[in-house]
Homo-oligomer: A and B are copies of this chain.
Amino acid sequence: MRNAEIIAVGSELLTPSKIDTNSLYLTEQLNALGVEVRRKFIVGDDRARLTQTIHSALEQAEIVILTGGLGPTEDDLTRDAAAAALGRKLVFSEEIQADIEERFRRFQRQMAAINLRQAYLVEGAEPLPNPRGTAPGQWIELGGKIVMLLPGPPGELKPLFANECVPRLLRHLPPQVIRTRFYRVSGMGESDLDALIAPVYTKFTNPVTTILAGAGDIQVHLRAQAETAEKAEALLADLGPSMEQLLGDRIYSHNGESLEAVVGSKLRERGATLSVAESCTGGMLAERITSIAGSSDYFVGGFLLYSDRMKTALLGVDPALIAEHSSVSEEVARAMAEGARARTGSTYSISVTGEAGPKSATGAPPGTVFIGFAGPGAPPEARRVHLPGDRNRIRMLAAQTALDFLRRKLTS
């Protein structure tokens, strides 16, 4: 009993602005019990589609959870469709009728006759009390599988699942523990990374390895399941070290911290301060640095230089240097970092100058970016990268590359 599928019911969940969030809560709860969610469905108020969906979920999954469609109206089809898919009848429950009538009395409201639709149970189902609403949940066991019908409103679903479903599930599940490792990696693309580590991780089915890629930022998750914490840790210890060795200093975080948070912690540890000089990133680098609460402890500020003239006027970059090498050059990147450091008095300074595209002002092809660095006790340095993508992606990758360059300087 290790895998589940979730079916969210309701036409409103198929509009452009609505999302099913119940399944996120359920996934978290199920994962904590060692149950994996393997598929999710969102179905409108459509009897044929809903019945077919329940059928196909039951073909694959051991646990099938339906949310929504338990209300009193014609559109609420979950009870009907579940009965049809399971080949069972609906039976009227006088106990539930009494509960519903009592609830209306308590709130001094008139009960419309349609509310009695909610008193039908799939034959053999155990009703699950729902103190926050009129529709009870339903718990159905059949041939080693479990089907749950749960109300759609999150305020009803969550307490009902926690109080009624989790204890029942625990009776069916083998004792099981999950342990994870988590790496964030910078400085390589997704396919290069996969080519590097696939020969190792594909040998293991437990831990499971998942790779998630953002702009220049990749997350690698290892997840091990076992009966005890010791065994799960031992499984991670089989794969983790070889993964860490392959990735080396490309791993910037083992706990999910962002690159800007890691750089911030390193600056704080050293009691150091930072300034920036941004050209093509236009503020994106500083925006990331200052997204961290408390960043004013180490970030002093900096310069946005969106023209050659400003590089000279605000940072003192020699116009002759720009004329000779162009503003997109190692020389100018170094002079920018040096200028920002001198003018702000910061311990370190990092600069970005490049062509984000779509047009090029200097003749260098879009994606050509130089990162400069200045700090105490050594001459300023710079490195060149060529970044793929459109204007927005080049800017994001340039900010990421600059932060990673700084991280490496602060680590070495």
Contacts and interface: CB of A to CB of B under 8 A. Distances in A.
A87 B334 CA distance: 59
Given A44-B39, A306-B300, A283 B293 contact: no
Interface string A86-102: 00000000000000000
A94 B57 CA distance: 39
A304 interface: yes
B304 A296 contact: no
Interface string A369-392: 000000000000000001011111
A2 to B, nearest CB: 13
Interface stretch (A108-116, A139-147, A224-232, A245-253): A108-116
B16 A112 contact: no
Nearest to A55: B56
Contacts of A276: 304
B14 A40 contact: yes
B40 A42 contact: yes
A39 B14 contact: yes
How many copies altogether? 2
Interface string A275-288: 01010011111110
A357 to B, nearest CB: 7
Nearest to A48: B60
B359 A294 contact: yes
Given A300-B307, A386-B107, A112 B192 contact: yes
A42 to B, nearest CB: 4
Contact of A282 (B41, B71, B113, B287): B287
A304 B291 contact: no
Interface residues of A, number: 102
A261 B194 CA distance: 38
A164 interface: no
Interface string A190-204: 111011001000100
A326 interface: no
A37 B46 CA distance: 12
A194 B114 contact: yes
A95 to B, nearest CB: 20
A107 B388 contact: yes
A53 interface: yes
Contacts of A388: 107, 109
B73 A391 contact: no
Contacts of A190: 71
Contact of A198 (B60, B74, B211, B361): B74
A189 B212 CA distance: 34
Contacts of A303: 301-304, 314
Interface string A58-72: 011000000000011
A293 B391 CA distance: 8
25 contacts: A12-B212, A13-B40, A15-B31, A39-B44, A40-B41, A41-B42, A48-B60, A49-B60, A52-B56, A53-B56, A73-B191, A73-B198, A74-B198, A107-B388, A108-B386, A109-B192, A282-B290, A283-B287, A296-B306, A296-B307, A299-B306, A301-B303, A302-B303, A302-B304, A303-B304
Interface of A: 11-17, 19, 21, 24-25, 27-28, 31, 36-44, 46, 48-49, 52-53, 56, 59-60, 71-75, 107-110, 112-115, 132, 155, 189-192, 194-195, 198, 202, 210-212, 276, 278, 281-287, 289-291, 293-296, 299-307, 309-310, 313-314, 343-345, 357-359, 361, 367, 386, 388-393, 395
